[in-house]
Amino acid sequence: MKPKEAKRVNVAEQLVQGTITVSQAARLLCLSERQVKRIKKGVKNEGLTYLVHKNRGSKPKHAISEDTRREVVKLALTEFKGASCSHMAELLEDHRQILISPRSIRRILAKDGIANVHSQKAPRRRGRRERMPQEGMLAQIDASPFLWLEDRGPEMSLHGVIDDASGKVLGLRFEQEECLSGYMHVLRQTAENEGIPRQFYSDRHTIFFSPNKDKLSIEEELAGKKAALTQFGRILDELGASQIPAYSPQAKGRVERLWGTLQHRLMIEMRIANICSLDEANDFLQGFIKKFNKQFAVKPADPLPAYLPTPADPDTIICIKNKRKASNGSTVSYLGQTYQLLKENGSIALLRPGSTVQVLTHLNGFLSALYEGNRFSVQVCTKADPVTPAKTCEKPKSKTKPADNHPWRNMRTPKPIASEIELYVKKRCLR
């Protein structure tokens, strides 16, 4: 019995016995005298059970059914394992058409003794940097190696770009490991969908910053560069964007928190979709990004975006560039192969011996070349087959065997001169 109910029983007994008046009972129970008279009449007719609420012990009409409770517990241990209560509520609505609140899920799991790993958050001990006012002013870029496919596939690295002002995911890409190709793909997605962010915030990986940043070539010094650029740094420089190095994971905390969210949500949703390979995972990301941004992106302080315009031909910038010298035969060597440059009409382009040619390796693996500001396709230069001399019509030589009495068989071989020289040397040594 609750304390409030025990107090009502005590006052009702005194009221029926006449120990206290109706006005005194009203003050004790904080009720009107009319309500106290109703209680007194009910207790006289039905006894103290009149004070018990009539709905006690009955099940509410909007209560969660036992079948739904068992379904929630079953999914929490199988398909939705590791999901937070909020995420599980979304998954139940999307995949099972079950509408249930996160608090109800938490109570159901607690009743069955299922721990929720997301119930407590770590205390914040650092002051958070304010977001940029405009979308496109700063983007954070990073990669996260993780068992994204659990036991259905190998460990992969997820490359991603997130906008600092809005928290919008600009691009995601799976690769076997953290590599330049993954970062180039997410940069290409960002350029296609939104534009080019003005600044990129990243860690000090050698993909972003060269370890030989103080060593410049003569051409770079003449061009006014102050630090050696990696391929990714060169891409951003040509796009007009700049780089900012982060000296701790907390400095780029927005993208680090993104990995924590995706390692729970994305992993579970790929499990439900039965994603088992890298290609299937990359195809799944396109729809997931739209759904994620619709739910978690926020509006920036200034609605006007600050993205740089995407160049007309981004494939000539977002690629791997390597310089080669032209040979006397108008060819260039690259990765153990000899290539010729082709014009649009299919004819071979003539190159000045010793001139510089930039060989481009694109995201799809194809090659092209830049020469004197023009772009050319390339083809492998094959060596000509050696010319075999024509056969002359000659009579076959007859193969005859000399007779037994042929003079050639009775020829005597002279003594070798070397043996006479050896005897002479031995005699000289004995003396």
Number of domains in the chain: 4
Residue 413 inside a domain? The answer is no
pLDDT tens digit string along 75-113? 988 888 888 899 999 999 999 899 999 999 999 998 888
Residue that terminates a domain, selected from 360, 380, 400: 380
pLDDT tens digit string along 368-401? 999 998 999 999 987 655 555 555 555 556 667 7
Q: What is the pLDDT of residue 58?
A: 74
Residue 57 inside a domain? The answer is no
Q: Residue 73 belongs to what domain range?
A: 66-111
At 28, the pLDDT band (50, 70, 90 cuts) reads: confident
Res 340 pLDDT > 80: yes
Q: What is the 3 state secondary structure string of the chain?
A: CCHHHHHHHHHHHHHHHCCCCHHHHHHHHCCCHHHHHHHHHHHHHHCHHHHCCCCCCCCCCCCCCHHHHHHHHHHHHCCCCCCCHHHHHHHHHHHCCCCCCHHHHHHHHHHCCCCCCCCCCCCCCCCCCCCCCECCCCEEEEEEEECCCHHHCCCEEEEEEEECCCCCEEEEEEECCCCHHHHHHHHHHHHHHCCECCEEEECCCCCCCCCCCCCCCHHHHHCCCCCCCCHHHHHHHHHCCEEEECCCHHHHHHHHHHHHHHHHHHHHHHHHCCCCCHHHHHHHHHHHHHHHHHHHCCCCCECCCCCECCCCCHHHCCCEEEEEECCCCCEEEECCEEEEEECCCCCECCCCCCCEEEEEECCCCCEEEEECCEEEEEEECCCCCCCCCCCCCCCCCCCCCCCCCCHHHHCCCCCCHHHHHHHHHHHHHHC
Q: What is the pLDDT of residue 314?
A: 92
Are 23 and 93 within one domain?
A: no
User: Is the entire prediction scored with pTM above 0.75?
Assistant: no
Are 161 and 276 within one domain?
A: yes
At 22, the pLDDT band (50, 70, 90 cuts) reads: confident
pLDDT tens digit string along 284-306? 999 999 999 999 999 999 999 99
Residue 369 inside a domain? The answer is yes
Are 265 and 229 within one domain?
A: yes
pLDDT tens digit string along 219-270? 655 666 667 889 999 999 999 999 999 998 888 989 999 999 999 899 999 9
